[in-house]
Each structure stands twice: as structure tokens, then as C-alpha cells.
Amino acid sequence: MGTLLKPENTGLPAPPRPTERPDPNHSDCRDVASVLSRVGDKWSVFVIMMLSDGPKRFNELKRMINGISQRMLTLTLRGLERDGLVTRTIFPTIPPRVDYELTDLGRGLQQPVKALGEWAIAHQQQIASARARFDERNDR
Amino acid sequence: MGTLLKPENTGLPAPPRPTERPDPNHSDCRDVASVLSRVGDKWSVFVIMMLSDGPKRFNELKRMINGISQRMLTLTLRGLERDGLVTRTIFPTIPPRVDYELTDLGRGLQQPVKALGEWAIAHQQQIASARARFDERNDR
DNA sequence: CAGAATCCACAACGATACTG
DNA sequence: CAGTATCGTTGTGGATTCTG
């Protein structure tokens, strides 16, 4: 990797290409990927958002996030807990009660995620119309 | 392909929420989800990063992104093109040549994505050790 | 209430072979 | 070179049922 491509494109002028260098941060790919995949997980992001304003109980989260199955909520929360993004607090009462709360780390992650969300909202129209155009071109 | 645009998170009925105000941007859940799922797609992010410093050819990208199959690269690029994030330029030469380049929209998306990536790098240690602790607690 | 366990459908992905 | 087509495997997630 990082090698320049061969000039076997014999004499094709083609458009000028900016000078290319090896990818600056390709060494961190794996670490970044692990976080991105957590963000890409739709449910994780929703959970983090729902926990913005304080701790929530299991079923409370389940009700807030419409459409999530109990299984996925469990798995999502476990993943977030494992990564140190949320804490899980058990109150040994009857019936049992479990609170989930963002850690400092989790609150930190919220910032970049929100930035992404705001970008999404700001450009959803452009994306939607781009899709429409693409699909129309391709449907025929 | 049409990945990950399931119509399920349609609206939080705002169930009995104890003490707080309605989530400011809960109405945009679906749009956000659609963008997040693209970001969550590992390959899309890598491609966008690789295109940071100018247009690239198909096989050039394939070589740069270690481990991607040619099929996934095709699908990923189609998705990005559909969303208006990259352009696809065909040079009808022999052998054929196709350049992919970020659009302004794509370059815009790069910023929040990079922020996320930087957060990931900055906190990978914390996450790693959180995972280690969690796993150890749980392995026994 | 908060989950663990099981079953199953289907989407995602990789490998391979073929084409203009 | 830049794809498309097909197949087989794995993974992901929903529905359901059971438990402390």
C-alpha cells in the first residue's frame, strides 16, 4: 500500500490528478473502524441520544426508541457498557430496576455524533434529490 | 441495494417521559439514521477518506483499501454516487478508465466524519481498557 | 421489570467466474 | 481496467417463550 500507481496508462492525457501521497491516517484504520461501526449501529446512537438528559430505565428506553426489540436493546446496552460509554446500575428492589446512564466518555462521543446528525439534517434535501435523480436515470 | 432505510423509527410517540422537554431533533430521526447508516458502513467511510486528496480510479481505490472485495467496492461507490457524495467519470479509452471524486457534498461530510475519527483515536485507549475490564469481569 | 435463550428469516459479504 | 453475475456462507435482528 501507499505505492504510486504504475504509469502503464500509455499516453492517456486524461485530467490532471493532484499529487497523491500515502494515506495520512491509514495506520489507525482499525481503531477508527471499531468506533465507526458502533456509531453506524443505528440503535447505539439512538440510545446515546436518549440518555442525553439523564439516566433511564430499561423499559423506559424501550418505549422511547420506537421499534427496537427487547433483544436488540439488551445487546446494544451491553455493547455500550462494554465500551465504557454507559453505566449500568442495578437496584435490587422488587420489581427490579436498572438504570443506564452516560459516562463522561459517552457524553464526549455525543458531540461528534451530534455534529454528524446536524450535517445530516442540513443536507437531507440535497441527498434526497440526488437519490431521486440517480434512481430516475437508472430506472430507464 | 437500498440498504438500511427501514421505515420503522417513524416517530417517537413521546411516551410518558418523566421530567423533561421533548427531544429537540427527534423529528428528524429517520433522516439522521439514513446518514448514520452510511457512515456506519465501514467501506463508505474508507472510500471517502481515500478520496480526500483528489480523484482516484477504481483499482487504485481497491489497492488502497486493503481487504475490500471488488464487489463491495462497486456497491459502496454506487451508494455514494447515488447519494451525491461522489461523482463517477468514465473515460472511454482502452483500457477503460473511471475516476471517482468527492463532490462538495461529500467533502462536507468529511468534516464531521473526521471529527468522529479523531475522537476515536483520542479515546481508543479508554475504550480498549474499558473493554478489557468488562470482559474480565464477565469471563469469570 | 429486566433480562436470557431459542428459533428462524433474510440481508450482507466474500469468492469466483465471466464480459465489454 | 472496470465492472456484472452467481453462489454459498456468515451475521444480524425480529418474534417468541421462559425466568429471577
pLDDT tens digits, residue range B4-59?
A: 333 333 333 333 333 333 444 444 677 678 888 888 888 999 999 999 999 999 99
Q: B25 by DSSP, 3-state: which?
A: coil
**Structural contact between residues A70 and A88, judged by C-beta atoms closer than 8 angstroms:** no
Q: Are B58 and B123 in contact (CB under 8 A)?
A: no
In a domain, B17, yes or no: no
pLDDT the model gives residue B28 = 60
The verdict on residue A50 lying in a domain is yes
Residue B102 neighbours by CB under 8 Å, 6+ apart = B48, B51, B52, B85, B86, B87, B110
Residue B13: inside a domain: no
Q: Does a structural domain hold residue A82?
A: yes
Mean pLDDT of A90-97: 96
CATH number reported for the structural domain that contains residue B81 in this entry: 1.10.10.10
Quickly give A37 CA vs D1 C1' distance in Å. Answer: 32
| Cβ B71 to strand D below 7 Å | yes
Would the pLDDT of A120 be above 60? yes
What beta strand segments (E) does chain A contain? Answer: 56-57, 86-91, 97-102
Pairwise CB contact (< 8 Å): A39 & B39: yes
Residue A69 belongs to what domain range? 32-138
Using CA coordinates, name the residue in chain A closest to B66.
A1
Phi-psi region of A54 (alpha: psi -120 to 50; beta: other; left: phi over 0): left
Answer yes or no: is B4 within a domain.
no
A49 inside 8 A of chain B by CB: yes
Rounded alpha-carbon distances, angstroms, from residue A125 to A131, A135, B105: 10, 15, 11
Q: Which nucleotides of D are covered by protein (CB under 7 A)?
A: 1-6, 13-17, 20
d(CA B54, CA A112): 25
Is B91 within a domain? yes
Q: Range with the lowest mean pLDDT among A65-74, A99-108, B4-13?
A: B4-13
pLDDT band at residue B140 under the 50/70/90 scheme: low
| Model confidence at B119: pLDDT above 60 | yes
Q: Is the CB of A34 under 7 A from strand D?
A: no
Q: Inform me whether the pLDDT recorded for A69 exceeds 80.
A: yes
Does any domain span residue B55?
Answer: yes
Average pLDDT over chain B reads 82
Cβ contact B41:A125 at 8 Å: no
Mean pLDDT taken over chain A: 81
| Confidence band for A43, pLDDT divided at 50, 70 and 90 | very high
Q: pLDDT tens digit string along B97-117?
A: 999 999 999 999 999 999 998
Task: List the one residue out of A79, A68, A87 whose CA is nearest residue A38.
Answer: A79
Query: For residues A126 and A134, what is the distance between their CA atoms, to the nearest angstrom?
Result: 12
What's A28's DSSP letter?
G
- Asked if strand D comes closer than 7 Å to A41 Cβ, the answer is yes
